[in-house]
Amino acid sequence: MPPRYIWESVKPHLEQTSNGYIIFDDTVLDKRHAQKIALTQRQYSGNAHTTINGIGVVTCVYVNPELDRYWVIDFRIYDKQGDGKSKLDPVRDMLDVFVNSRPVAFSTVLMDSWYATKVLMLFIENLSKKYYCPLKRNRLVDDSNGTPPYQRVDSLEWSDTEQQSSKRVKLNKFPKNHNLPIKGISTKICGRDSKKTV
């Protein structure tokens, strides 16, 4: 089923708000016991905690926080062998559609650590949207304006004030003076508003 069928089915029922959230997540449909099925490939499965033979699907959910309701509005099959695209490309493709071809009202993108890459985070900022995502424990950051050098995010020291609010850091390989706030010692949630840091 082409992704557009999902949109055509959901659109009449979708209750949008300018404060809406777009959530991206991926899953692997387990096909370990299948001999030959189209679109299957070896890939890591979070459910199985190992690499398995399966079909990768990137899904997009729209959330209206004012109504506490959500709708699946799009998906893409991850088929690197067939189309050469990375797992990040479907997210960029869907965001581009929501902003330019199929306008969807939203302010914020929520995604997991797999998508917390420089390319995708800067792409979302260029769309004038906010984003929030967890950072992997070994992500290199700098909270000292260049001294000492970058360190793992899980080795940062936090003041009492920072523990209650956030800590501003520069992620490794991001543009100069491009600082982001991270929140929570255990979760390391990183977020940014394209007009101001949040």
| CB proximity list for 141: less than 8 A, separation 6 or greater | 135, 150, 151, 152, 153, 156, 169, 170, 171, 172, 182
Pair 91, 182 in one domain: no
In a domain, 130, yes or no: no
Residue 106, domain extent: 1-112
pLDDT digits (tens, 9 = 90+) for 164-173: 888 889 999 9
Whether 190 and 107 share a structural domain = no
In a domain, 95, yes or no: yes
**Is the sign of the CA dihedral 120, 65, 78, 55 positive or negative?**
positive
- Segment 46-74 shows an average pLDDT of 86
120 lies in some domain: no
Could you tell me if 102 and 174 lie in one domain? no
Question: Are 54 and 100 found together in one domain?
Answer: yes
The answer to whether residue 126 is domain-embedded is no
Q: Kindly report the average pLDDT of the chain as a whole number.
A: 84
- 8-23 pLDDT, tens digit each: 999 999 999 999 999 9
On whether both 100 and 2 belong to a single domain, the answer is: yes
Instruction: Report the predicted TM-score, pTM, of the whole model to 2 decimal places.
Output: 0.82
